[in-house]
């Protein structure tokens, strides 16, 4: 029986709420109906024990007994190993879900992150640097659009790959970046329409709202 504790920040400022990456882990754990507790580390003062779990001083990490796992992709693969609902057990299904999990992080999020950060920071869009970032993401979305136009989920049934891909895409969607990608937009709506997403999202918002109260 797994003994799971998810660690996130004790507080973050309002803009990233609803998008902090512990949401991916909460979502997976809710989908798998696995019991877990949530622990907090200071957002402000990140000490050695934080870096011992997450070498970049970030969140999330998950402990399962005496195992400690950082990187949301690695965490979701671990959770997938605990539940067939999220990662198929047959070789082909597992490989497909794993491929798409890495694609979400290493092909799409690596292109979307500079794009969403530039939008968030309000960087000018009439520069060569912006054009590079924008074209790079658009090319990835163009190919993903073709894939998603032909299937409901990335690897057969809903899997950890869909949690990561839709979580990456919903940030882009929030800045209007899926306007020319109707299949990607419909996919995000389909994924985030799942009850487990709603629960994970509400729980993250409640976690940070409780921190506001405690600070007041």
Query: Which residue reads 């895409």 in tokens?
Result: 169
164 counts as binding ligand GSH under rule CB under 6 A: no
59 counts as binding ligand GSH under rule CB under 6 A: yes
18 or 156, CB closer to ligand GSH?
18
- Residues 73, 141: Cα–Cα separation, whole Å: 20
Q: Decide: 70 and 53 in contact? Cβ < 8 Å.
A: yes
Q: Decide: 39 and 3 in contact? Cβ < 8 Å.
A: no
CA 33 from chain centre, in angstroms, equals 18
- Residues 204, 110: Cα–Cα separation, whole Å: 24
Nearest distance from residue 131's CB to ligand GSH, in Å? 25
The stretch near ligand GSH (CB under 6 A) out of 54-62, 132-140, 146-154, 185-193 is 54-62
Phi, psi of 129, rounded to the nearest 5 degrees: -65, -45
- 69-128 residues in contact with ligand GSH (CB under 6 A) are 71-72
- Residues 201, 20: Cα–Cα separation, whole Å: 10
Q: Decide: 39 and 6 in contact? Cβ < 8 Å.
A: yes
Query: Which residue reads 């998603």 in tokens?
Result: 148
In the list 4, 7, 11, 20, the residue contacting ligand GSH (rule: CB under 6 A) is 20
Nearest distance from residue 113's CB to ligand GSH, in Å? 9
42 or 57, CB closer to ligand GSH?
57
Q: What angle do CA 30, 36, 42 make, to 5 degrees?
A: 110
The stretch near ligand GSH (CB under 6 A) out of 53-61, 77-85, 88-96, 182-190 is 53-61
16 or 156, CB closer to ligand GSH?
16
Nearest distance from residue 100's CB to ligand GSH, in Å? 16
53 counts as binding ligand GSH under rule CB under 6 A: no
DSSP secondary structure code for residue 105 in this structure: I
- Residues 172, 177: Cα–Cα separation, whole Å: 5
Nearest distance from residue 112's CB to ligand GSH, in Å? 13
Nearest distance from residue 71's CB to ligand GSH, in Å? 5
Nearest distance from residue 37's CB to ligand GSH, in Å? 19
Q: Which residues bind ligand GSH (CB under 6 A)?
A: 20-21, 57-59, 71-72
């Amino acid at each position: 029986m797994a003994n799971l504790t998810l660690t996130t920040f004790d507080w973050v400022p309002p803009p990233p709420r609803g998008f902090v990456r512990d949401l991916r882990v909460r979502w997976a754990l809710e989908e798998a109906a696995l019991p877990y507790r949530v622990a907090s580390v200071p957002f402000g003062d990140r000490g050695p024990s934080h870096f011992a779990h997450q070498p970049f001083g970030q969140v999330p990490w998950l402990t399962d007994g005496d195992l400690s796992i950082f990187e949301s992709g690695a965490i979701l693969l671990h959770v997938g190993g605990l539940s067939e609902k999220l990662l198929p057990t047959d070789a082909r299904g597992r490989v497909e879900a794993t491929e798409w999990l890495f694609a979400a992080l290493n092909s799409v999020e690596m292109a979307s992150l500079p794009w969403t950060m530039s939008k968030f920071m309000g960087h000018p869009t009439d520069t060569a640097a912006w054009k590079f970032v924008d074209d790079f993401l658009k090319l990835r979305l163009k190919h993903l659009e073709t894939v998603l136009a032909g299937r409901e989920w990335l690897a057969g049934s809903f899997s950890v790959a869909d949690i990561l891909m839709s979580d990456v895409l919903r940030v882009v969607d929030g800045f209007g970046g899926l306007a020319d990608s109707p299949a990607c937009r419909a996919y995000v709506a389909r994924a985030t329409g799942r009850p487990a997403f709603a629960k994970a999202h509400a729980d993250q918002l409640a976690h940070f709202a409780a921190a506001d109260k405690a600070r007041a």
